[in-house]
Structure 1
Amino acid sequence: MNIMKSLKRRPATDQEMGLDDETLKRHRALTADFTKLYRDLEVEGYFKPSPGHIAYRVVELFLLMTAGIYLIQQDCGVCCTLGVMSFALFQGRCGWLQHEGGHHSLTGNSKVDRFIQAIFYGVGDGMASSWWSSQHNRHHAMPQRLKRDVDLETLPLLAFNSKVVRNPKHGKSFFVQNQATLFLAIDTLLVATMWKLYLHPRYVIQRKRYHELFFMILHYAFAYSVGFFPYMTSVWLASIYIFGNFSLSHTHLPVTQGPLHWVEYAFLHTLDIETSWWCDWWMAYLNYQIEHHLFPTMPQFRHRLIRDRVRALAAKHNIPFYCSSYGDAVMKTYGNLLEVSKELRH
């Protein structure tokens, strides 16, 4: 960040933008209206941190963790099952909280938010917050943009769009041809395990981020306390919870290769899921994905309060606003996985 600030900068000229006059005019109007909405929301206090909401999220995680460990240790099959589910929810919802910390939308202080992120992603999931941020920020810059959005780079396990497959042999592989079945059943656990045991530890050691490594090691103290099989089952369930919900908002939408306005990326390549009390909790407010992409530093629980204003912005500029029910989003996601497999088979 300091290096970026030290560089000289100036507005790009019309020639450097490489866009026709009509597109430039449309982009400028969209920029002006988005900027006005952003400033209005800022003045109205939508970006202010909420200590009460942060406290609720942390207390919830503590209760899920302690209940999970306690129940798993009881000599009772039903208790153990409930404990594994609680411990899985603890891990999954640590993922939601660290996501918000990574966007600096918790306390309003970026250093504090990153530290909170490192604690909960490390202790809760055994993963490295800095690695996650480096990847996720690229996704936010250009969602569904080929060769830019890292969330599209999922081979060899699966392909969310046939255009990401450059080698026809990869499209006919066992994993891709059966991806609709294997995505939640197998792929999520494979990815989570690879991240935990190899990718994330290697990343923090190479970059000497030892405080993150310390938090990641603490995670395995909890793993030891619950035992190997309950722990691995909870990791599997947590990975289904996280990856399954993340996939609903983007993966079935079209990919793009051409330049778009940043606001257009959010509207055209992101999907909202309808408001309901259970879905807001289950997805930790990431069902307001369009609002999240437009205002990533806003505390996520406030995104539901601005949906109508965001929808009005889209309508003013004749841009579609995609919103589905949770069940519909699941059907679209799995329908897309099946369709991509079929397309690649032939």
Structure 2
Amino acid sequence: MEEEGARERSFPRLFTWEEVGSRDGRGQGKEQWLVIDRKVYDVSTFSKRHPGGSRVIRHYAGQDATDAFVAFHSDKNLVKKYLRSLLIGELAPDQPSFESNKKKSLLEDFRELRCAIEKMGLLRPNYFFFSLIFLHVLVLEAASWFVLWHFGISLLPVLFSFLSDPFVSQIQMGWFQHDLGHCSVFRKPRWNHVLQIVVLTVLKGLPASWWNHLHNQHHAKPNCFRKDPDLNMHPLLFSLGRTLSVELGKKKKKFMPYNHQHKYFFLLAPLALIPFFQLSIIYFAVKRKKWLVSTASLSGKLQKCHYICLNFLLVRYFESNWFIWVTQMNHIPMQIDYDQNKDWVSSQLHATCNVNQSAFNDWFTGHLNFQIEHHLFPTMPRHNYWKVAPLVKSLCGKHGIEYKSKPLLTAFVDILHSLKDSGEHWLEAYLHG
């Protein structure tokens, strides 16, 4: 019996892609399997205690998560220890690793590129660079308080403090916490998480774990409806992408006059972001019983009420404007649809585009003008994006994939063009579908 058990353990159970694909969390039993390096893992129970959030791992149920796993985890040897207990078998030898030869060639070249990037040290942070980033945020924040303390509450001091806070300090603090959330500031993830709590929760008043769970989903499945939380305002306020817009129109759904959404985007999108964040935080705290997170978040918000409550609201509104235009200029004009189970490289390139590099663009966007590189290598420190950009562009050229990069103002205008186009598709389907 012992020999038979040992023999059984030495020959792993073999699966087909059809078997794996049927375990996408929606079928009978709601089992969730995924594939990493041809090994099959059952994450049905583990997804609920996944440190990066339950949904991000469920989004890959029934699919190949190899490149997503590599992209998100900097300490892979440590993580693989936890995977051992979830291993149930591997793909049968006759099962392809990739869906097509074209995809195989693209992913093989991408994985070779990633190995080269690691050897070049481009995934290692420059502590001096991030020290300057953090220091310039603190200086601007301190200047705002100092002017009010020294000159009192009068028009010019209040105006200076107001402008330096939402337009510089707060948004730059947001870009910095984004670096921390991706564990790209320190080599040890724990140090990134601790400082992110200080910056995001204490200084900005938002719970770090809540933000990470949302943002991880965005990176895992960008521009995928029902999987990318950045699309949650569809269809309540906006109709995004041709496919979803036509679907809304045919169903005769009209929550808003979507054919005019390009006109009200600049007003409603930033305005809706504030209550959306607050409601999401409350839901997150109640569901996960993170009362400490909720209390810390409230404490952070109370600290931001400088001189009058109106200033706080204006700070948040103008900060939301900056945030919305910068983060959406890379995504809304791109392909938006349901999850098509594309490979990692294709899914990121079809959902993102770049904005041309300049010293101002780098600073103004927190280097998110390099959205393509950021999405392909989410743990890469932002000061290395420009170094890897030519390599990524060469990879795209080799495989006939468009590498989009445009001027900053063009990127802003393209948001409106895309919204107008989606609105027209909705109206056509609504009237004649």
Q: Fold-level match, TM-score > 0.5? A: yes
1:247–1:9 CA distance, 2 compared to 1 (3 A): farther
SS at match of 1:96: helix
Do the aligned residues in 1 keep the contact of 2:238 with 2:256 (CA within 8 Å)? no
Aligned to 2:301: 220
2:218 aligned residue (129, 132, 139): 139
1:72–1:342 CA distance, 2 compared to 1 (3 A): farther
1:171–1:90 CA distance, 2 compared to 1 (3 A): farther
Aligned to 1:86: 164
Alpha-carbon distance in 1 for matches of 2:393, 2:410? 20
- Shift in Å at residue 284 of structure 1? 0.7
**Pairing 1:299-310 to 2, within 5 Å after superposition:** 299-310=381-392
> Is 1:296 aligned with 2:372?
no
Aligned to 1:204: 285
Aligned to 2:202: 123
SS at match of 2:198: helix
Alpha-carbon distance in 1 for matches of 2:93, 2:231? 31
- Shift in Å at residue 233 of structure 1? 0.6
Q: Which stretch of structure 1 is more off in the superposition, 110-119 or 176-185?
A: 176-185
> Is 1:60 aligned with 2:139?
no
Q: Identity rate of aligned residues, in percent?
A: 21
> Is 1:265 aligned with 2:347?
yes
- Shift in Å at residue 17 of structure 1? 6.3
Aligned to 1:160: 240
User: Aligned partner of 1:42: which letter?
Assistant: E
- Shift in Å at residue 217 of structure 1? 3.0
1:84–1:44 CA distance, 2 compared to 1 (3 A): same
Question: C-alpha deviations, 1:63-104, integer Å up to 9, x for none?
Answer: 222223344563332332221121113222222112111111
Q: Which stretch of structure 1 is more off in the superposition, 227-236 or 125-134?
A: 125-134
Alpha-carbon distance in 1 for matches of 2:98, 2:342? 10
Q: Which stretch of structure 1 is more off in the superposition, 135-144 or 242-251?
A: 135-144
How many residues of Structure 1 are paired with residues of Structure 2 in the alignment? 342
Alpha-carbon distance in 2 for matches of 1:308, 1:10? 39
Aligned to 2:334: 253
Q: Which stretch of structure 1 is more off in the superposition, 1-10 or 241-250?
A: 1-10
Alpha-carbon distance in 1 for matches of 2:342, 2:286? 37
Q: Greater share of helix residues, 1 or 2?
A: 1
1:318 aligned residue (375, 397, 400): 400
Aligned to 2:39: none
Question: C-alpha deviations, 1:176-234, integer Å up to 9, x for none?
Answer: 444323323233122223413x3214423542435533542332342233320111111
Do the aligned residues in 1 keep the contact of 2:244 with 2:337 (CA within 8 Å)? no
Do the aligned residues in 1 keep the contact of 2:218 with 2:228 (CA within 8 Å)? yes
List alignment gaps of at least 5 residues for structure 1: none
> Could you tell me the TM-score, scaled by structure 1's length?
0.89
Alpha-carbon distance in 1 for matches of 2:219, 2:125? 22
1:69–1:41 CA distance, 2 compared to 1 (3 A): same
1:77 aligned residue (155, 158, 168): 155
Instruction: Please provide the CA RMSD for this pair.
Output: 2.5
Question: C-alpha deviations, 1:225-272, integer Å up to 9, x for none?
Answer: 332011111110111111110000011112244332211112222101
> Could you tell me the TM-score, scaled by structure 2's length?
0.72
